[in-house]
Chains A and B, each alone.
Chain A
Amino acid sequence: GQNIDQPTEMTATEGAIVQINCTYQTSGFNGLFWYQQHAGEAPTFLSYNVLDGLEEKGRFSSFLSRSKGYSYLLLKELQMKDSASYLCARTVDSSYKLIFGSGTRLLVRP
């Protein structure tokens, strides 16, 4: 199977840190993507992890553990504009088609 699980909703406060977890089935795994999607808009690329460890990119970081089938997206110094859905997606085999989780809706409150 290629199930991807992530929480449906999260709420956090402006200026705080939030961690969005994602678990996936490891068979046929190539890499793990995180996308941000505001309602009604296109997903925009945030990060790509193919090796274990933490990738830091400004306020956003992403972590991958291939053996555990686990990833997280860490958002620091939250801003109101970070309120969006965050989509975890994995590639499958050599085609690199993306299998998406259902997304985590993040609400940032003042």
Chain B
Amino acid sequence: DSGVTQTPKHLITATGQRVTLRCSPRSGDLSVYWYQQSLDQGLQFLIQYYNGEERAKGNILERFSAQQFPDLHSELNLSSLELGDSALYFCASSGSSRGPGTQETQYFGPGTRLLVL
């Protein structure tokens, strides 16, 4: 158990819909990262927040947005969903020096499996 929690575990929805994925980082971690993992692709970095502020952006679509709240949990919003958005969405956190690795080590949540029909 990494200490990072994500909800929901599974999500099935239809094209054109909007969903929100939620992530709670490990206690003490200030950074939250979102990644997408499709069947035919590796883990793709989407976006990073640090203590409520956007820190880095990857190849995140304009239909996708995220935010980090004062209690440090984060939400990833996916709108106008397409079939190709079906994927595993992982959240990771870093920033505290607890556990193996360093402050830069990212610990991943269990992921949300999104299926768009």
A interface list, Cβ under 8 A from B: 30-31, 33, 35, 40-45, 48, 87, 89, 91, 93, 95-103
Q: Are B42 and A100 in contact (CB under 8 A)?
A: yes
Q: In the complex, what residues of B have CB within 8 A of residue A98's CB?
A: 33, 35, 43, 45, 92, 106
Q: DSSP class of A's interface residues: helix, strand, loop or mixed?
A: strand
Known: A97-B45, A99-B45, A103-B42. A48 touches B104 (CB 8 A): yes
CB distance from A91 to the nearest CB of B (A): 6
Can you spell out 9 A-B residue pairs with CB atoms less than 8 angstroms apart? A41-B110, A45-B101, A95-B56, A96-B106, A97-B48, A98-B35, A98-B106, A100-B35, A102-B42
Q: How many residues of B contact A (CB 8 A)?
A: 29
* Interface flag for B25 (CB, 8 Å): no
In the complex the two chains form, what is the Cα distance from A33 to B43 in whole Å?
A: 13
Q: In the complex, what residues of B have CB within 8 A of residue A48's CB?
A: 101-102, 104-105
